[in-house]
Chain A
């Protein structure tokens, strides 16, 4: 769907007319990311991150496919083949560093995208499905990133695989057989490495599929915007091309500068040195931590140090970690406020900036630290706040908050008045 004033695709060249009758792909692109897709005129740079995430996925697939041409998914030579890529393969170091830092870049972008959604309540009707599909994409990304980290078969790869599959071992009764089945053995080995490689290759294409659904679902109501007020008239929108292709292009340029600063000048700054030691089942690294993008969730996992009612501490940690993401699925129904944008919600805004953001940052810091005091106590407090925020504070705030007055329309928010939308065709007469 699109707004009635959207420009229509009219192929002029005979070849394009011929193609439009046979397979209207240019028409699809024109209506999705071209001049045929009207977008709110007031999108800020926070709306760049969807396009950037898409770029990251493409980059990860391209570099990943090239890496797979040289990598050997066999426990005996996986580590050596990774070093072979680094030392012998032409431009192999660039492919591997781009891919490894690309994962970090992807998560930076996706976290900004998600927190944009939190602040502007992008999950609210009519965009619930966009949000739900987004959470699915995030879960798939987490699985993909975890399995990719196992492939170099260093110490962190091995012990990460052991600890993460050990999470499933916490499930009562079926846990242990399930863990053995997932790994194809009692401990991570060739069987586990092979299936992780296979799935790591498959899942990005599943993600690409869900992204198509995500964008499809988005294009039915159209993009949200920083005011949270829906589009009312043509003056509220601009065609996607050239206005937002240009704005996204600028954002992409900034993104690439930062990203390649990492790839070229500090490619290992986000990695863990222990992963340059070949996997050794007989020796555990002193500190097992996942990559930075999993730290908040890892902190929640470790925050449960004592049995909780009748549930074992270990199982409780696992449940809480999964629940911390699954709770996002319920957001559209937990936050009942009719106002979307945090700019017009004084109370919500305070809890967002002084509650949710600090609690996630504290969890992230604790997740990368040794599991000892004060980090355990800090992660317990932050975990408690995190769940309170979504399950108690958001519903209460939406019930009791008095939102600030909304602008009449997007145009009014931008220009200070919107006579045409208020007066309709009488606008000319009135002025």
Chain B
């Protein structure tokens, strides 16, 4: 429903390298705690080569570069990509992988390969404390 405007999430239990699927506006929301290696991989990319050029820093909050919070909705036709659940295929770029039409996202959830036109959307959110976020 449109009225469901904000969702509060406790992220204290998410270890580095882990991700969870939450619900925001009846759609899946991916909350991922990136490892240092994943952050380094995302920063190493030459953004001029990207379809939707953005740095990891632009897609996360200042000082919280390890918290990658995106919609779990592929920008192609709206499927839920794999990679947030335990043991799911994260695709060739280590981020998320959409099984419907083969879109592959990197560790900053940026589109790298496949038909999707844009990076996974970063919703409006803020840290209300070190371990809770308010989305929307």
Contacts from A to B (Cβ < 8 Å): 159, 162-163, 166, 169, 180, 184-187, 189, 191, 281-284, 286-288, 302, 305, 312-314, 371-372
Whether A185 and B1, one on each chain, are in contact in the complex, defined by CB atoms closer than 8 angstroms, is yes
Q: Given the known A-B contacts A166-B77, A314-B76, are A305 and B27 also in contact in the complex, defined by CB atoms under 8 Å?
A: no
User: Would you call B92 an interface residue if the criterion is a C-beta within 8 Å of the partner chain's C-beta atoms?
Assistant: no
Instruction: Name the residue of chain B whose CB is nearest to the CB of A165.
Output: B78
Residues of chain A lying within 8 A (CB to CB) of residue B101: 302, 371
Q: Find out whether the CB atom of A284 lies under 8 angstroms from the CB atom of B117.
A: no
CB < 8 Å: which of B79, B102, B117 contacts A288?
B79
Q: A284-B80, A284-B100 are in contact. List 4 more A-B contacts (CB 8 A).
A: A185-B26, A186-B2, A281-B80, A284-B99
Q: Are B80 and A189 in contact (CB under 8 A)?
A: no
B23 part of interface (Cβ distance < 8 Å) = yes
As a 0/1 sequence over residues 1 to 34 of chain B, the CB contacts with chain A under 8 angstroms (1 = contact) are 1100000000000000000010101111000000
Q: Is the CB of B102 within 8 A of A186?
A: no
Interface flag for B53 (CB, 8 Å)? no
Binary contact track B72-108/A, C-beta < 8 Å → 1, others 0: 1000111110000000000000000011111000000
Q: A185-B1, A313-B115 are in contact. Are A166 and B78 (CB under 8 A)?
A: yes
* Interface contact B117-A314, CB-CB below 8 Å: yes
- Distance, CA A180 to CA B27, complexed state (A): 13
Determine if A186 and B100 form an interchain contact, defined as CB atoms under 8 angstroms apart: no
For A302, the chain B residues whose CB sits under 8 A away are 101
Judge whether B27 and A281 touch: CB under 8 Å: yes
By beta carbon, the residue of chain B nearest A286 is B99
Q: Who on chain B is nearest to A315 by CB?
A: B117
Listed by A's residue number, 23 A-B pairs whose Cβ atoms lie within 8 Å are: A163-B78, A163-B79, A166-B77, A185-B2, A186-B26, A187-B78, A189-B1, A189-B26, A191-B1, A281-B26, A281-B27, A281-B28, A281-B80, A282-B23, A284-B98, A284-B99, A287-B100, A288-B77, A288-B79, A288-B100, A314-B76, A314-B77, A371-B100
